[in-house]
Amino acid sequence: MPQKLSQDKVEQWLNLVSGSFNVRDIWAELGIEHSENKEYLRVCLYRLEQKGIIAKTSKNGTYRKIDLMANPIEWQQADPGKVLPVKLPFGIHEYVKIYPKSIIIVAGSKNEGKTAFLYQTISLNMDRFIVDLFNSETGPEQMKERFAPLDIPEPAPFNVFERYDNFADVINPDHLSVVDYLDFNSEVYLVGTEIDAIFRKLKNVAIIGLQKPPPTVAYVRGKKTVYDRDLAYGGGFTAKRAILYITMGSHKLKLLYVKTPANPRVNPNNMSWKYEFDDSGYFTNIQRYYGEEQDSF
């Protein structure tokens, strides 16, 4: 006969885990093989549910430990004038207040200047903040070539790291973090989760590059029309935490969403610019864009 499972043993195991867990994890680690012990485990977990210690998740057979920690926010002692002096290309910083613990999204179609925007942002801020670039886009040779037109001193006054996922694990909350770029391939539904994890870690600012779907071409009454989506892969989940959402496509840049305008009398939402590229791949001929409402961008 197998040794009978006890409530105490289950609770001792639970004290050693964090986050979510599956009943199969308990089976494996406590050596539960007999059907009687598996059935009794359900009873133990039900009791813990009733006590408010664990809760079921949306995945079958999976639970999470309930976290009762809620840190107080001393909001009445906060200073609304504590706007961070983050500079952005196109003079965008003139239209938005950027407070500590902010997410900025730069969503761009392929070859529309997303990396150029992020690199120029680093150049504009490397003397103001400790900047960390998390790169999944290029190798070191191509990166050196792309940075060359920006006259970066040697050694560079910012840090560069190779990183492909779980960015929140390595982000320093006090630094200005630039992610080029956040990519989940076919699992685009995870993009919002990763952005949320980064937000929870932040004290400063994270500027995150995202890829947009390619434009859609349609013919309306025989006229070719290009429709460029505003949101990156992942849709609305990519915008949930953003205080500023910048979208780039068809050689146009738009402020899709601005949470706190710098001037309350000027609404920068949907403010747009047209641009071209010079021989080094950086922006030139930048102009404010006042396109018709029916324009696709």
d(CA 52, CA 64) in angstroms, rounded, equals 11
Residue-averaged pLDDT of the chain: 91
Cα–Cα distance between 264 and 98 in angstroms, integer?
A: 14
pLDDT tens sequence across 13-61:
998 888 889 999 999 999 998 889 999 999 999 999 999 999 998 888 8
Are the CB atoms for 21 and 61 separated by under 8 Å?
no
Q: Determine the 3-state secondary structure of 216 from DSSP.
A: strand
Cα distances from 151 to residues 19, 87, 140, in angstroms, run 46, 17, 16
Q: What is the pLDDT at residue 102?
A: 97
For 1-11, the pLDDT digits (tens) are 567 899 999 99
What mean pLDDT is predicted for residues 112-121?
A: 96
- Whether the CB-CB separation of 103 and 242 falls below 8 Å is answered with yes
Neighbours of 124 (CB within 10 A): 16
Q: In sequence order, what DSSP letters do the residues of 238-297 get, joined into one string?
A: GTTTEEEEEEEETTEEEEEEESSBSSTTS--TT-EEEEEE-TTS-EEEEEEE---TTS--
pLDDT at 294: 39
pLDDT band at 297 (very low <50, low <70, confident <90, very high): very low
Alpha-carbon span 18 to 45, nearest angstrom: 15
pLDDT at 201: 94
Kindly report, residue by residue over 140-184, the tens digit of the pLDDT: 999 999 999 999 999 999 999 999 989 999 999 999 999 998 887
pLDDT at position 186 is: 57
pLDDT value for 296: 43
Amino acid letter, 285: N
At 127, which helix (H) or strand (E)?
A: none
pLDDT value of position 293: 46
What domains are there in the chain, each with its CATH number? 7-65 (1.10.10), 79-289 (3.40.50.300)
Torsion of CA 143, 147, 148, 153, to 10 degrees: -110
